[in-house]
Amino acid sequence: MTGGGLLVAGTTSDAGKSVVTAGICRWLVRQGVKVAPFKAQNMSLNSFVTREGAEIGRAQAMQAQACRIEPTALMNPVLLKPGGERSSQVVLLGRPVGEMSARGYHGGRQQQLLGTVLDSLAQLRATYDAVICEGAGSPAEINLRRTDIVNMGIARNASLPVLVVGDIDRGGVFASFFGTVALLSREDQELVAGFLVNKFRGDVSLLEPGLDMLHGLTGRHTYGVLPFQHGLGIDEEDGLAVSLRGAVRESAVAAPVGEDVLRIAVCAVPLMSNFTDVDALAAEPGVVVRFVDRPEELADADLVVVPGTRGTVRALQWLRERGLADALRRRAAEGRPVLGICGGFQILGEHIEDDVESRAGRVDGLGILPVRVRFAREKTLERPVGEALGEPVEGYEIHHGVADVRGGEAFISDGRGHSLDGCRVGQTWGTHWHGSLESDGFRRAFLREVAAAAGRRFVPAPDTSFAALREEQLDRLGDLIEQHADTDALWRLIESGAPRGLPFVPPGALA
């Protein structure tokens, strides 16, 4: 028997599809429903490695956590990782299969992947009571409809009802809802069940006349009005339109336990990947995290993080052009803390040999760490565990670069004195491991080292649990759905599909 399903689409990118999908998943699992997330095609530089060693979007990993299940490659069968303005690495069922231009992908390759996408969704629906699917961008991208496999293309092929989410905080939500439906073909419109308003501020009664008019114009109900809430932007796909407060994003920084705060500057390198690595730092009381792109912004930072990037050589050039490379070298020479993660770790080394990502050949690094990097064609995708600073640590690896460490102190070891990854010289650390700072004991030990080196009377909170904070966030998303959406009507959609007889909204588009 095939499980129920729903596609959460949006009027625009960043309308709230990811968090609404997670909220519906958490609401369902709290009702005893066996549920899984799904996104046919994801374009993101924030990715995650599953237990079986597959790379998927972090948003789907977060949604799997909302479902209280382990993420798998089936939940995000196609992942596109941009490498520039016009090309992306294509990751299929968790493994890279090559680089492709946007024209080449939309010109035929995308449609070829439809069978894989539908098979992945069918396997999930055969296993779970419900699968909550997330769309991408808008379903009314009429220039891309012919080859679409993530919005109405998947809805039509899998007979999924569609719920359209609109961000009212941006304005124009009624026009966006109406226009989205009106630009779809008659066949597509038959699957669009209704709307969900996101990020509403104020008195809902003032909105109701507009919702009634929208129903009169489209024949479709609004399934809920979700109020605006701070701090719900967890695991975004991309973009830095956030104030970066980690698990308490967009809220005030909690007061420090010690006498001082700790200031952390993250270099906003091009094609930044997995900037969620610093979320766990930002979740600590008294830690202030900000993104920077000028050398003078490093002056008052107690720690500078050089994060991961999909374009290591390009990021290295950017750091030099901005004067940040020289500022990082000065910091290291003065014994002021610097942390490089993945691509950032590679940048801090002696040189990089890249015939894979940028095809630039040999490029000098910053020379801060005794590391030489060679890019391999095979991507490393692992979920390692180890020990660092006397504390257990775990993370995940996503990189083509192979590091040859030729000195310094071991950073992450196996607990028996054998180095597993990275190295340390003075107060400069480097590691390929993403997510390591989510290990609470290690994070606290690391922050103590940083504070001592920076001369700050900062004390890490003894009881901050990043995993518990993430669970609280997911429960808040579930509460939003439970308290502000018509959950009975939502369940009918998931179980029975779109209502029959929904009216056609002209002018429509060609089928």
434 is known as an active-site residue? yes
> 41-57 b/e with 16+ CB inside 10 Å = b?
bbbbbbbbbbeeebbbb
Task: Identify whether the C-beta of residue 504 lies closer than 8 Å to the C-beta of residue 189.
Answer: yes
Which DSSP category does 257 fall into?
Answer: S
The tokens describing 93, both together, are 């069922």
Bond preceding residue 161 cis, omega within 30 of 0: no
Structure tokens at 434: 């993403």
498 neighbors 190 (Cβ within 8 angstroms): yes
Residues 6+ apart with CB under 8 A from 14: 167, 236, 239, 241
Of 448, 431, 348, nearest to 394 by C-alpha is 431
**Two tokens at 219?**
């024949």
- Identify whether the C-beta of residue 441 lies closer than 8 Å to the C-beta of residue 416: no
Q: How far apart are CA 74 and CA 78, in angstroms?
A: 9
Cα–Cα distance measured from residue 421 to residue 77, given in angstroms and rounded to the nearest whole number? 29
Q: What angle do CA 154, 156, 161 make, to 5 degrees?
A: 90
Distance of CA 260 to the CA centre of its chain: 31
Question: How is 404-460 classified by DSSP, letter by letter?
Answer: EE-SSB-SEE-SSS-EEE-EEETTEEEES-BTGGGSHHHHHHHHHHHHHHHT-----
Name the active-site residue from 399, 400, 432, 434: 434
230 in catalytic set = no
Specify whether the CB–CB gap between 246 and 467 falls below 8 A.
Answer: no
Q: Which whole-number Å values give the CA distances from 331 to 229, 306, 369, 428, in the listed order?
A: 39, 13, 13, 9
Helix, coil or strand: residue 244: coil
Amino acid making up residue 434: H
Number of Cβ within 10 Å of residue 364's Cβ equals 11
Q: Residue 478 belongs to what H/E stretch?
A: helix 466-484
Given the residues 25, 67, 267, 342, select the one marked as catalytic: 342
The answer to whether 127 and 142 have CB atoms below 8 angstroms apart is no
Active site residues: 342, 434
